[in-house]
Structure 1
Amino acid sequence: MNKHHVHLLVTSDVHGQYRENGLANLDAVIAKKRKEDGSVFLIDNGDVLQGTPALDFAADQSDMPHPAIAAMNAMRYDMAVVGNHEFNYGFAMLEQAVEESSFPWLSANLVRETSGEPLFGEPYRLLETEQGIRIAVLGVTTFRIPWWEQPSHIEGIRFDEPVSTAKTWVKHIRNKHAPDAMVISYHGGFAQDLHSGEWLEEHRGENQGMELLQIEGIDALITGHQHRSITENNIKGVTVIQPGSHAKQLGEIELVFEKNSDRWSIVSKQAKLHSPEMEASLAVLEATQAQTDASKKWLEERIGTAVSHDLEITDPLQLKQSGHAYVDLIHTVQMQATGAEISVTSMLSESSPGFKEEITIGDVLTNYMFPNMLVVVELTGEVIKEAIEQSVSYFALEKDDIRVSKRFLEPKPQHYNYDFWGGIAYTVCLDRSVGERVTHISHQGKPLDPKSVYSVAMNHYRAAGGGMYPMLTKGKLVDQVPTRISRLLIDYIKETGTLHGERTHEGMILKKTCNE
């Protein structure tokens, strides 16, 4: 038989969804694939160690093996690529997770400053089938991590430009191993349309998939980071896949090889996406049961009571237009913890439910799922207005209906980049041009002075300019709170006991036209 099928199965941006409705369900699909003809290899493309309340517990409260790693070991992953969120709980936790893994972690462009060597050893894996077919997989990671991450979490690490790094390594691998197929697994996506080349987002080096496609000698490109579902069989001769997020889909690149004389060559390539329709794998559930039981006990701890339905979230778009008691609660906590005059925050997920009557630790972490740190930045009134203009570009007025602007929906939804400001009142007119919509801003009853400096509490990601807010880097960092914002919320609710759902900050007045 001179033909053989190789199936590269891919997950990306799992974000801690390792049990039911997550990796455990995908494992059943993977097990079925392994019983079919051909060779199967399993790859994760990054961002697996952060994203759920259970992983917050795993990072801080538990000396047990990391549950996501326990699940991946049970599923027999062949490799994983380092994603940006792998650093969210600090490098020590990431190192421990890597040590617990029964598979290697890859990233060619993340290197140690002292030696210049890749962070976790050789950044590629040479896979070989029983038939002698050899497939090289090289890992690379978006190099924008220093713009988003806490400096203490990435100390001693250099983030090299991924395209030039990948080009060097692909040449090295081709020369040294002469693999039958060359694959790049990139924790990053596409800033341009795959067919037209049209720019879909600002060109800031976060998503360099199009540039990677230019590298000579690659057969397939695995991507992620953007949470998109992409299958393309021939972009510049390369097969491309991006398998969504949160283990809702399993990606597959099927490579068909044919042997001529003593050499295997690719005769066809196809990218596919599979949705899990099978029950959760018992092996994965058993491997993570102890950690799940421990985290459940902690997450179910009751810390307070909400006596008003005003803290529940039912309409995210309306919430962004009119403000909400939940948002005001975050402003209050941030300003109280720092003494800042002004606060800025965002709704981190469109599925955030807010708070019902009984509030648990799990409820807080379900709403505030990112381990952001709180900082204080001094900003001029002029920069504050510029940042608010950026935020309110989220809204589009279409036939008198307020909708979400296309730039916050493509190439991926970015609802979390809409910001709420507390400690100030501001008026926005949607019939004005983007960048000129804010007509009035006041602080403590007086117009905000463009030249005066104000102290603003915000998360460290935003302070670094993350999420389309480069203007915030013009400010001066004057304070850092050594406690995650989610923990500050938990402590505040514990101390307060009862939340009444009051609206405590003026916020935005949104008008469709300036004549209203």
Structure 2
Amino acid sequence: MDTTKLVILETSDLHGSIYPVSYADQSCRDVGLGKAATLIRREQAAGNQILLIDDGDLIQGTPLLYHYVKCDHKRPNPMVLLENRLGYDGAVIGNHDFNFGRAVLEKTIRNSDFPWLSANIVSSETGQPYFGRPYLIKEFANGVRVAVLGLTTRYIPVWEKPENILGMRFDDPVATARRWIPRLKNEGRADVVVVAYHGGFERDPDSGEATETPDGENEGYRICTDVPGVDVLLTGHQHRRISGKIIHGVTIVQPGVNGKYLGKVVVDLASKGERWQITGKRSGLLSVSGVPADRQLLRLTDPYEADTEAWLNRPLGRIEGDMRVTDPMDVRTRDHPLIEFINWLQMKVSGVDISLTALFDNASPGLPEHVTMRDIMANYIYPNTLKVIRISGRDMRAALERSASYFMLLNGKVTVSPSFTTPKPQHYNYDMWEGIHYIMDISKPVGSRIVKLEYHGAPVTPDGRYDVVMNNYRSGGGGDYQMFRGRPVIKDIPVDVAEIMADAFEKQKVIQARTNHNWKLVYGPYHRKGTD
């Protein structure tokens, strides 16, 4: 009996990360496709049958990709240049791959030497896969046939700008897989069936305990338990590191974020007549820590990197005062000049007097005295635009309660609720508001923590109407802010917030760091943050 081995390699959520650097301060980091490429080359050189898949969120997330889209889009997408050279077999469409608009995504697909897959993103008119390729089948020289079905989180319409997904419908990935898997096994004669899903797990892979509300964002566990015939499930989206686990006979893997790890699944097969039968499966993660980047490969994108660095180093203006971030928790528990500045800008460009924003990441350094484009991009890391929506006072209170649930008290100390850190950090879902006065008492139960809420010196009324500016992600209800979903859009401002920030410095040259202490966090009668 002949035997053979199939090695499946997965990258996911690279988010435009190519070089092993931090763009905020140019320090070295163990990240990027350049390092992952070295591991991929080693696996390819080992003589095994290789299937190489990218699981989505490829083309957004670093200043390099932002600069490419905004200033340099005539050249091919740099991520595609590298994945073409590495010989990727396919890629899955992720939610962030829509962020720069349909034209950028469609050009990326055209320039790829491999198919982009998503069986559940379909035409709203015909019901057929919108991007044409729901799956791929790869046949190796010894006759082993591997099918890969691509699926994408169906939650995208909650987050994405409507114009970026016009004409698309996002179907249930579980039901979609049930329809396609028998076809891949029978008509496609697949010996190994792989589902590559840009989504994660709604239940703990070990215990099966629910870890998320069943809203459809992550449905990997259901794919394993409710879809017969799946051998391997490649996942992403949650930025988790998962390997060495099997759910209902399905081997699973998820390789984290930014190319820190390469997912690897080994499938052992033995011949059985004209077909091959799986005799064993196992998954693991290969770390890029200490691995040198593939310099020969990176020569393809070095010109992009040089242009990006020159753009990032461009001086913009100066700050009087201090907008640096030294303690992310301090920023989120008392009024901070960086947040005040962003909210002030949003109000200025929108013409309304209520705004909200977030400190997106704990790695945000804030703004130094002399500000460059690098400093802007280090803090505002998403290509968000702004919308003004009209909400009720009831909506406002519900949104503030959602933000107040970010905190918990542990032995008298303010800390972050696990619901905002596990299984994926979601610090970007805690908002701070300007234009209203409010107090959060986090010693009270979740849902009843807003103990003061005023607008122009008067209490906010449940049925009152208020125009509020926020980024497009939040205005669509992203981050479980469902109270904003479907509210009237009063104004759409189609300029990236990072560009608005840069423009403010270039025009004003000097910006004052200031706060007005319009909100306060308290926890009990004696412990307070901020001032009235």
Q: Give the TM interval when normalised to the shorter protein.
A: over 0.9
1:21-32 alignment, distance < 5 Å: 21-32=31-42
* Structure 1 residue 367: Cα displacement: 0.9
Deviations 1:280-320 (A, max 9, x none): 10232111112112222222211111233x21111111110
- Counterpart of 1:427 (choices 426, 439, 443) is 439
Deviations 1:405-446 (A, max 9, x none): 111112211111111111112111121111111110122222
* Structure 1 residue 115: Cα displacement: 3.6
Alignment partners' CA distance in 2, 1:115 and 1:296 = 45
- Counterpart of 2:92 (choices 75, 81, 85) is 81
Q: Match for residue 483 of structure 2?
A: 471
The yes-or-no answer on 1:35 pairing with 2:45 is yes
Letter in 1 for 2:503: D
Q: Match for residue 317 of structure 2?
A: 304
- Counterpart of 1:263 (choices 275, 289, 295) is 275
- Counterpart of 1:121 (choices 132, 139, 143) is 132
Q: Match for residue 59 of structure 1?
A: 69
Deviations 1:96-144 (A, max 9, x none): 0111111110000112334433222221111222211111011010111
Q: What SS does the aligned partner of 1:454 have?
A: strand
Q: Match for residue 530 of structure 2?
A: none
Q: What SS does the aligned partner of 2:299 have?
A: helix
Q: Match for residue 180 of structure 1?
A: 191
* Structure 1 residue 351: Cα displacement: 0.7
The yes-or-no answer on 1:286 pairing with 2:315 is no
Figure out how many residues of one structure are paired with residues of the other and give that number.
Answer: 514
* Structure 1 residue 196: Cα displacement: 2.6
8 Å contact from structure 2 (residues 263, 285) kept in 1: yes
For structure 1, list consecutive stretches of 5 or more residues without a partner in the other structure: none
Q: What SS does the aligned partner of 2:495 have?
A: strand
- Counterpart of 1:393 (choices 395, 405, 410) is 405
8 Å contact from structure 1 (residues 64, 291) kept in 2: no
Instruction: Supply the RMSD in Å over aligned alpha carbons.
Output: 1.4
Letter in 1 for 2:3: K
Alignment partners' CA distance in 2, 1:85 and 1:51 = 8
Alignment partners' CA distance in 2, 1:233 and 1:258 = 22
Q: Match for residue 418 of structure 2?
A: 406
* Structure 1 residue 59: Cα displacement: 1.1
8 Å contact from structure 2 (residues 319, 511) kept in 1: yes
Larger CA deviation: 49-58 vs 442-451: 442-451
The yes-or-no answer on 1:70 pairing with 2:81 is yes
- Counterpart of 2:60 (choices 50, 54, 60) is 50
Letter in 2 for 1:302: P
Alignment partners' CA distance in 2, 1:284 and 1:385 = 52
Larger CA deviation: 46-55 vs 446-455: 446-455
Larger CA deviation: 110-119 vs 68-77: 110-119
Q: Match for residue 106 of structure 2?
A: 95
Letter in 1 for 2:36: L
The yes-or-no answer on 1:171 pairing with 2:182 is yes
Q: What SS does the aligned partner of 2:133 have?
A: coil
Q: What SS does the aligned partner of 1:126 have?
A: strand
- Counterpart of 1:337 (choices 340, 349, 364) is 349
Larger CA deviation: 465-474 vs 26-35: 465-474
Letter in 1 for 2:2: N
Q: Match for residue 108 of structure 1?
A: 119
Q: Match for residue 352 of structure 1?
A: 364
Letter in 1 for 2:109: V
Alignment partners' CA distance in 1, 2:360 and 2:417 = 18
8 Å contact from structure 1 (residues 493, 499) kept in 2: yes
Alignment partners' CA distance in 1, 2:145 and 2:61 = 34
Larger CA deviation: 113-122 vs 398-407: 113-122
8 Å contact from structure 1 (residues 429, 514) kept in 2: no
Specify whether residues 344 and 195 from structure 1 end up closer, same or farther in structure 2 by C-alpha distance, changes over 3 A only: same
* Structure 1 residue 261: Cα displacement: 3.6
Letter in 2 for 1:8: I
Deviations 1:306-339 (A, max 9, x none): 233x211111111100121110011001000111
1:104-503 alignment, distance < 5 Å: 104-213=115-224, 214-276=226-288, 277-308=290-321, 310-473=322-485, 475-503=487-515
* Structure 1 residue 264: Cα displacement: 1.3
Deviations 1:243-292 (A, max 9, x none): 10110000001101112343311111001001013211023211111211
8 Å contact from structure 1 (residues 306, 499) kept in 2: yes
Alignment partners' CA distance in 2, 1:113 and 1:512 = 49
8 Å contact from structure 1 (residues 233, 269) kept in 2: no
TM-score (norm 1): 0.97
* Structure 1 residue 474: Cα displacement: 5.9
Letter in 2 for 1:306: I
* Structure 1 residue 365: Cα displacement: 1.7
Larger CA deviation: 108-117 vs 334-343: 108-117
Alignment partners' CA distance in 1, 2:10 and 2:404 = 37
Q: Match for residue 15 of structure 1?
A: 15
Alignment partners' CA distance in 2, 1:357 and 1:335 = 23
Letter in 2 for 1:259: S
8 Å contact from structure 2 (residues 52, 89) kept in 1: yes
